[in-house]
Amino acid sequence: MKRNILVIPGDGIGPEVTTWGKAVLEEIAKGFGHDFSYDEALMGHAAIEVTGNPLPDETLEKAQKSDAILFGAVGHAKYDNDPSLKVRPEQGLLKIRKELGLYANLRPILLFDELLNASSIKANILKGTDILFFRELTGDVYFGEKTRSEDKNTASDLMIYHRYEVERIAHKAFEAAMKRRKKLCSVDKANVLESSRLWRETVQNIAKQYPEVETTHMFIDNAAMQLIKDPKQFDVVLTANLFGDILTDEASQIAGSMGMLASASVGESTGFFEPIHGSAHDITGKNLANPLASILSVSLMLEIGFGLLEEAKVIIDAVDQVLKEGYRTGDIADETTKSDQILGTKEMGQLVL
Ligand code: ATP
Ligand code: MG
């Protein structure tokens, strides 16, 4: 089967890290005999400079035709403290998500044992953590009606969900759970919120179609605590937009650096795969960026986007091996790292390759 992959390197460290994600993808295609074709497109500041538009029509057309997108980051220092600039890099990202109908945001929290200090208590709790979050992206208080009273002293945000929104993301999450450890925890606040009662009822109904999956429900406050207390109990976690926003940021700290975390946004057709970090202007062009988040985004593309589980695992194992051998980029190095094993972007990318 031929698969078209669109690479959007974007701005800042985006191009530096995406180079290595793509190189790993090419190596996998070669090794396993897959027919992948590649195209490239502009987005963000890089696109504004050339076309005046953070998401040029050409990029959107290529994206719509692709089977998967590997994205880097968008952003540039000049926009940070200047709200007068009306055309902004991040508009490209928001628009492409909307145009592609990406309603589910997936964030795996994968902790490499080698990045733990084995003697600390924390290490015992965290060791072996491997969670895949599904955060709903189109509903909730973000998109419900917002009001402010005339005297400005009262405000409200409507927390709203439609059954179809819960159903479609629940299916994605159950399908992923079937390919993992067959455990799914749905997180809500159904003791208090009506939208959460709809959420829970809908997830319970969908669960009947996946009898092999052990489904549990947890209130958000408890989930926030359990995540710190015993993260290993979770496999797939399914939750709404607001709860997912908070819970995935909390969970990201389990894995250590932002330079280690990948994410995927999926919907009806093509999937969008990217590191969770941004453009990081402070380290741009210095060969300091950790390319592992982009490389792990490619693993996620193979797993979630294409269902190529063995190929995805080969990448994880390669990263694991390099870490086991003691190699680190600056962001994940600590006092135990030998100075000649602290690598730049290129050296780390090459080693994984
Ligand atoms: P943006 O505005 O696009 O979000 P940012 O400047 O806020 O970009 P982030 O990418 O969000 O930067 O990251 C914050 C900091 O974390 C960076 O300034 C950088 O020092 C560090 N960092 C982020 N990603 C990496 C990486 N891949 N490797 C090493 N350090 C990183
Ligand atoms: Mg940032």
Q: What is the DSSP string of 229-277?
A: H-GGG-SEEEE-HHHHHHHHHHHHGGG--GGG-EEEEEESS-EEEEESS
Judge if the beta carbon of residue 351 lies within 6 A of ligand 1.
no
Whole-Å CA distances, 339 to 114, 134, 285? 17, 38, 21
pLDDT (average), residues 96-100: 90
Q: Which residues surround ligand 2, an ion (CB under 5 A)?
A: 278
Closest CA to 274 of 97, 31, 47: 97
pLDDT higher for 254 or 53? 53
User: Could you tell which of 258, 282, 319 is best to mutate to test the pocket of ligand 1, judged by most ligand atoms within 8 Å of the CB?
Assistant: 258
Who's near 225: CB < 8 A, 6+ residues apart?
none
105 lines ligand 1 (CB under 6 A): no
* Average pLDDT value for residue range 27-50: 98
Q: What pTM was estimated for this model as a whole?
A: 0.89
**C-alpha distances in angstroms, 353 versus 24, 30, 38, 295, 324?**
6, 12, 18, 10, 15
Average pLDDT for the chain = 94
**Coil, strand, or helix at residue 342?**
strand
Query: Which atom from ligand 1 is nearest to the alpha carbon of 12?
Result: 3
Question: What ligand has the least distance to the C-alpha of 258?
Answer: 1
Percent of the chain with pLDDT over 70: 99
**Interatomic CA distance for residues 110 and 95, integer angstroms:** 29
The whole-number pLDDT of residue 100 equals 95
Categorize the per-residue pLDDT at 185 as very low, low, confident or very high, splitting at 50, 70 and 90: very high
What's the rounded mean pLDDT across residues 320-329? 96
**Smallest CA separation from ligand 1 atom 29, residue:** 289
Ligand 2 mean position, distance from CA 14 (Å)? 13
Instruction: Please give the pLDDT value at position 164.
Output: 97
Cα 249 to ligand 2 centre (Å): 12
Model confidence band, residue 76 (pLDDT cutoffs 50, 70, 90): very high
Compute the average pLDDT of residues 117-131. Answer: 77
Minimum mean pLDDT among 146-155, 205-214, 251-260, 310-319: which range?
251-260
As a whole number of Å, the end-to-end CA separation of the chain is: 24
Which protein residue has the closest C-alpha to ligand 1 atom 18? 280
Residue 227 CB less than 6 A away from ligand 1: no
The preferred substitution site among 18, 283, 294 for testing ligand 1, maximizing ligand atoms within 8 Å of CB, is 283
Q: List helix spans (H) across the chain.
A: 14-32, 45-51, 57-65, 77-80, 89-99, 121-126, 163-179, 194-207, 220-229, 241-252, 292-300, 309-324, 345-352
The catalytic site residues sit at 142, 189, 221, 245, 249
Give residue-wise pLDDT tens across range 262-284: 999 999 889 999 999 999 999 99
In single-letter form, the type of residue at position 81 comes to N
Gap from CA of 277 to ligand 1 centroid (Å): 5
- What's the gap in Å between 201 CA and the centre of ligand 1? 39
- Reported as half-sphere exposure (CB side, CA atoms, 13 A), residue 161 has a value of 27
Contact (Cβ atoms closer than 8 angstroms) between residue 133 and residue 251:
yes
Residue 121 has pLDDT above 80, yes or no: no
Average pLDDT of span 299-323: 96
